[in-house]
Amino acid sequence: MQAREAMSHPVITVRNDATVGLAARLLTGHGFTALPVTDEDGALVGIVSEIDLLRGWTAPDPLAGRSRAARPARELTVGEVMTSPVESLTPGADVAHAVRMMDDERIRSLPIVDGFAIVGMLTRRDLLRAALARDDRVLATEISHQLAEARYQTSDPF
């Protein structure tokens, strides 16, 4: 199976000069865990995840001696908290390769790029859905094959 068959699309991206607040609203509003980050020309320059954004909002609390969620005095930009460089794949990449990358690199999602265009996102959840759907298709094909054989064996050619 290729990445194009399992990826989510269309893709919502965020620019590197956007605020972490805007990125957080995009993530929570769409139920994503990460967004591809682009520059002003639309080229992929990074990825911003929930934990990247939380790091951008967490400040030490000197009274409690532990961290607390707090908006920084100057809101950070996505470019300041994103992960870069970012791993990516092409639409024709084998999903088995994507699984190995995700496991080896401990990442949850991969942008899918065609040239300079971001055409999809491939997440662990996408891969699980694709695996389940493929199992259903394989099962349906096998049942159809067995039914066809049974019809052939019971048909009387005379």
Amino acid at site 123: T
Considering the entire predicted model, what is its pTM? 0.75
Residue 117 pairs in a beta bridge with 114
Mapping DSSP onto H, E and C, the string for 36-103 reads EEECCCCCEEEEEEHHHHHHHHEEEECCCCEEEECCCCCCCEHHHHCECCCCCECCCCEHHHHHHHHH
CB atoms within 10 A of CB 19: 16
pLDDT at 149: 74
| Tens-digit pLDDT string for the chain (158 aa) | 999 999 999 999 999 999 999 999 999 999 888 999 999 999 999 999 999 998 877 666 666 655 555 555 458 899 999 999 999 999 999 999 999 999 999 999 999 999 989 999 999 999 999 888 876 666 566 666 667 776 776 665 55
pLDDT at 64: 62
pLDDT at 20: 92
pLDDT at 73: 44
